[in-house]
């Protein structure tokens, strides 16, 4: 199989802890998911990993994108954990608006993860009252364009999508008690990152990367 360079971005960090809820802190989870777990699988598959935030320190969003571009990465993955009302749950994949190539990879990513781990795609009791950390309506498990949230999109996707396929993953909602329990489960976290790697492999097999 083709070997690629993957830019792995652990969201937030340093003075920016990200979201918090149910005793969990987003920046700590993103480091674990991205740097420890996903990167382990990527390297084991023979891919080169470029960490945009290799330690606990905060890195500016534009610099994260610059590091991915400088590494000539073939794929950019930014790992986050969402927060909203206590009702919102699920695994989300975001791509830059208008980026059709990344959209196809995002759809495959979501499909692979949810097929293997359906607990990341629960039925929400009320989408109308579920709001994410930006104050926008949160639709739980889905694939979305970042321009649905901000007119210019997410900074890290805006800075990378013209150079490589670029995705931002929201691995559950730490504001939801059930998702928080999933995020405390080391076996489930390992399985989730394994499926993210499986989705990358599927995109490679289909010529999307």
Whole-angstrom distance, CA of residue 87 vs CA of residue 90: 10
pLDDT band at 126 (very low <50, low <70, confident <90, very high): very low
Q: Are 9 and 71 in contact (CB under 8 A)?
A: no
- What domains appear along the chain, each with residue ranges and CATH number? 5-205 (3.40.630.40)
In this prediction, what percent of the chain has a pLDDT beyond 70? 91
Please check the confidence at residue 109 and state whether its pLDDT lies above 80. yes
Structure tokens that stand for 58 in this block: 């905060």
Q: 126 CB contacts (<8 Å, ≥6 apart)?
A: 87
| pLDDT tens-digit map of 133-190 | 544 444 468 898 988 888 889 999 999 999 999 999 999 999 999 999 999 999 999 9
Mean pLDDT is lowest, of 15-24, 70-79, 99-108, 130-139, for 130-139
Q: Are 112 and 202 in contact (CB under 8 A)?
A: yes
DSSP string, 111-179: HHHHHH-GGGSPPPS-TTT-B-TTSSBP-SSEEEEGGGTSTT--HHHHTTTTTS-EEEEEEEETTSHHH
Mean pLDDT, the chain, whole residue set:
91
Nearest to 146 by CA among 162, 168, 128: 168
Q: Are 176 and 89 in contact (CB under 8 A)?
A: yes
Q: 127 CB contacts (<8 Å, ≥6 apart)?
A: 137, 138, 139, 140
| pLDDT tens-digit map of 8-19 | 999 999 999 999
């Amino acid at each position: 199989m083709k070997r690629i360079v993957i830019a792995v971005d652990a969201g937030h960090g340093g003075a920016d802890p990200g979201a918090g809820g149910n005793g969990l802190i987003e920046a700590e989870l993103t480091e674990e998911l991205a740097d420890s777990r996903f990167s382990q699988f990527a390297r084991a598959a023979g891919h080169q990993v470029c960490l945009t935030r290799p330690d606990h320190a905060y890195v500016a969003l534009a610099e994260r994108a610059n590091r991915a571009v400088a590494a000539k990465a073939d794929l950019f993955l930014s790992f986050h954990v969402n927060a909203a009302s206590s009702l919102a749950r699920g695994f989300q994949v975001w791509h830059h608006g208008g980026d059709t190539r990344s959209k196809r990879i995002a759809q495959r990513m979501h499909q692979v993860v949810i097929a293997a781990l359906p607990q990341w795609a629960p039925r929400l009791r009320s989408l109308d009252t579920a709001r994410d950390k930006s104050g926008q309506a949160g639709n739980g498990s889905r694939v979305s364009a970042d321009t649905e949230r901000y007119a210019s999109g997410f900074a890290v996707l805006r800075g990378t999508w013209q150079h490589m396929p670029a995705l931002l993953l929201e691995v559950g909602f730490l504001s939801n008690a059930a998702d928080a329990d999933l995020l405390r489960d080391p076996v489930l976290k390992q399985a989730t990152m394994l499926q993210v790697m499986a989705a990358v492999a599927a995109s490679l097999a289909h010529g999307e990367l």
